[in-house]
Chains A and B, each alone.
Chain A
Amino acid sequence: MQAKYFPDTDTLLLIFSSSEIVESYDLNENTLVEIDAVGNIVSMTVEHAKQQTNVNEFSFQLAPVH
């Protein structure tokens, strides 16, 4: 998984896999979701990301396995 931020347009691109994208659709006007042939999410684009997300405090945590 990758997160890429484009400061020129305040756009956040989350890439979940490298599967081939077959369809793009709007979750809302600022969020574009792209899926593969079996409906799995491949990427998500969030526009005006600073208004909608805490993009400056991105972190990743792997939950412990019990």
Chain B
Amino acid sequence: MTDMLEARFTQYFLYTRNRPDRCCINLDWIFETVANPDAEVVQQDGRIRRWKRIPEAEGRFLRVILLEDGVTIHNAFFDRRFQG
């Protein structure tokens, strides 16, 4: 599983990470979503969306966006519209 030492992040991710709606998202949840997603969609631009239900967050679905390299984390937020 990815950990903080080997994880790569975009500047957008690092900037938005400080926002109140994002700072509550545990990094371990993000890494777990990357490693063991419940669903995955590859966008037209090659970026990858992965979702995982997070029991510790009231069962909400976390969406993580990876760059085309499949490694670099670009965005992560709770996706209320995702139905699983």
Question: A residues within 8 Å of B by Cβ?
Answer: 4, 6, 8-9, 11, 13, 20-25, 29-30, 32, 34, 45, 47-48
Determine chain A's interface SS by DSSP, over half rule: strand
Inter-chain contact count A-B, CB under 8 Å?
A: 44
24 A-B pairs within 8 Å (CB atoms) are namely: A6-B10, A6-B12, A8-B10, A9-B11, A9-B12, A9-B74, A11-B10, A11-B12, A11-B74, A13-B12, A13-B15, A13-B16, A20-B21, A21-B19, A21-B20, A22-B21, A23-B80, A24-B80, A25-B80, A29-B44, A45-B12, A45-B75, A47-B45, A47-B47
Name the A residues within 8 Å of B31 (CB-CB): none
Q: What's the Cα separation between A34 and B21 when bound, in Å?
A: 10
Name the B residues within 8 Å of A34 (CB-CB): 21
Q: What's the Cα separation between A47 and B43 when bound, in Å?
A: 12
Name the A residues within 8 Å of B78 (CB-CB): 24
Name the B residues within 8 Å of A32 (CB-CB): 75
**Nearest B-chain residue to A30, judged by Cβ:** B45
Residue B29, interface by CB 8 Å:
no
Name the A residues within 8 Å of B45 (CB-CB): 29-30, 47-48
Question: B residues within 8 Å of A by Cβ?
Answer: 10-12, 15-16, 19-21, 43-45, 47, 67, 74-75, 77-81
Asked if residues A6 and B21 are in contact (CB atoms below 8 Å), the reply is no
**Nearest B-chain residue to A7, judged by Cβ:** B11
